[in-house]
Amino acid sequence: MDIGVQGKTVLITGSSGDIGRATAKLYAQEGARIIVTYHSNEEGARQTARIVNEFGAQAHIVHLDVGSESSVQGVMDEISEEGGVDILINNAMTRGWTSFPFEEASLDQWTQTLAIGLTGSFLMVRACLPHMRQQRWGRIVNISSEIALYGMNKSSHYAAAKSGLHGFTRSIAKELGPYGILSNVVAPWLVMTDRLKHTLPEQAKETAARVNPLGGAPEAEDVARTILFVGSGWNTYVNGEIIAVDGGAHALPG
């Protein structure tokens, strides 16, 4: 069944992480060409590329600092030689972001988090836009977190970046929609990555299972499936939405 991504170019920032890798795998299965990006984890990016290649899809690895205008433009210049980006997945975030009391946050920590989590998405969308607008088709999926919806203790910097991403996405959805460019946010709950499976305290796992109607927490592929839908030709009318992937946890009182 064709979902409208075969032969299209998909750029995924943060491709070396669990969600990025799972997303790349699903797009590869559908015949898309994947631009695998990394900032510091080159080996992780190579692992993602190998998975993409296993499905007979093309993978092109590039180093990218989404918070740097010159880095973003350099990557886009390289990609434009073979055509532009049709589907953009903004998934990059500060690696292993840490929580700390608000009064202990430094300006550098605040600035870096917003540079990658919010400004980076702005730079990527701006760079990909000319090609999408020219062909009057594009899909933009910005990856957020439910922390942006409800806040979290000792995570004001992260919540601010992701909350800003929501307003940004809803605004570009209105502005770019007439050009056939659909923009949405996918906001997962606590994602059970390989690292969390081994490091998250058992008490936290039990709490997650208790407050989630489906039990436990989503896997990376659960999030990737949602990304694939809104970032594909199957999605013809979902635009400007904040889509929670949390098993219904947000629907429970308290």
Would residue 184 count as lying in a domain?
Answer: yes
38 part of the active site: no
Q: Report the pLDDT value the prediction gives residue 150, as an integer from 0 to 100.
A: 77
Decide: 190 and 206 in contact? Cβ < 8 Å: no
Which listed residue (27, 38, 150, 158) is catalytic? 158
Q: Report the pLDDT value the prediction gives residue 96, as an integer from 0 to 100.
A: 46
Is residue 175 classed as helix, strand or coil in its secondary structure? helix
Decide: 32 and 233 in contact? Cβ < 8 Å: no
Q: pLDDT grade, residue 80 (50/70/90)?
A: confident
Would residue 3 count as lying in a domain?
Answer: no
Per the structure, the complete domain to which residue 33 belongs is given by 9-246
Per-residue model confidence as pLDDT tens digits over 121-167: 999 999 999 999 999 999 999 999 877 777 777 788 888 999 999 99
Would residue 229 count as lying in a domain?
Answer: yes
Would residue 29 count as lying in a domain?
Answer: yes
Would residue 254 count as lying in a domain?
Answer: no
Structurally, the chain folds into a number of domains equal to: 1
Q: Which residues contact 248 (CB under 8 A, 6 or more apart)?
A: 212, 213, 214
Task: Compute the average pLDDT of residues 61-82.
Answer: 94
pTM score: 0.92
Torsion of CA 155, 101, 195, 215, to 10 degrees: -60
Say which CATH number the domain at 197 has.
3.40.50.720
